Every structure is written in structure tokens, then in C-alpha cells.
Amino acid sequence: MSADLTTLFADRMVPMGRTLGLELVDVDPDRVVARVEARDELCTSSEAMHGGAIMAVADTLGAIGTVANMPRGARTTTIESKTNFFRAVPAGTTLTAESTPLHKGRTTQVWQTRLTGENGKLAALVTQTQMVLYPNGK
């Protein structure tokens, strides 16, 4: 099932994911993994990946994980996000992100994303809450 979900989400990547150049490695209801190159368009003047770009990667993965667990017709939106930055991701290197659920409820899901540099060291840790929006408010 994981390969099918990975292909499905890659084929239907949200515009922000395409803008980031997100490469989905694995999508499963309990884990989402992706890579993105820290290319110039995503970096600061100090040649490191911009914190907002790092947060956008994590937000996209948490949303994908939530969608992988929602019933058909439901939507999701981020209602809270907290980021800790630990080290820079140099321009030209690859960032790997792995998102796993801390809570999967009917109306909210909480996902934690570990973002690591090529050296395997933790660059950032993001915890976000996604609200599940049901059609007709059900």
C-alpha cells in the first residue's frame, strides 16, 4: 500500500510541494518521508536553506500524512505549528524529512517532522496540529 500512496500523492502534489521540489520517498498512514534540495531559490543570503522553506516542507508532509488517514471528501488545514531549529542546511545539499503521527483523532491529528541534513544530523524538529474538515460540518 505504501508504494501506491507514494505514487498517488506524488502525482497529485500540491502546488507548494511542487514549488519546493519535494520528492516523496514514502507515504504511509503512519509515516511520510521526502527529500528536497536546498537550491538557491529556497536559501537565504548566507547560503543556507531558509527557515520558512524548512517549515513549509514539514507542513506539507504533516498535511499529506493527515490526508492519508482521512475519509474521502474531508479536507485538512494546519491550526498550529512549532519549529525548533538546530543547525543550518547548506545550499546545494539535500534535506530529508520524516513525519510521523503523535495523535490521529477524528477532528485533529498531530504530526512531528524530523528534518535532517546530508550528514544525518538534526536540522529542525516541527510539531504541527492539523484540523480535519468534514463536508457539511459532519
What the chain holds in terms of domains, given with CATH numbers, is 2-137 (3.10.129.10)
For residues 104 and 28, the answer to whether their CB atoms sit within 8 Å is no
Instruction: Name the average pLDDT for the chain.
Output: 94
pLDDT tens string 24-69: 999 999 999 999 999 999 999 879 999 999 999 999 999 999 999 9
Alpha helices in the chain (DSSP H): 2-11, 15-20, 51-67
Taking the C-alpha atoms of residue 96 and residue 94, their distance in angstroms, rounded to an integer, is 6
pLDDT tens string 99-112: 999 999 999 999 99
Taking the C-alpha atoms of residue 29 and residue 136, their distance in angstroms, rounded to an integer, is 25
Question: ∠ CA 29-34-37 to the nearest 5 degrees?
Answer: 170
CB neighbourhood size of 108 (10 A): 15
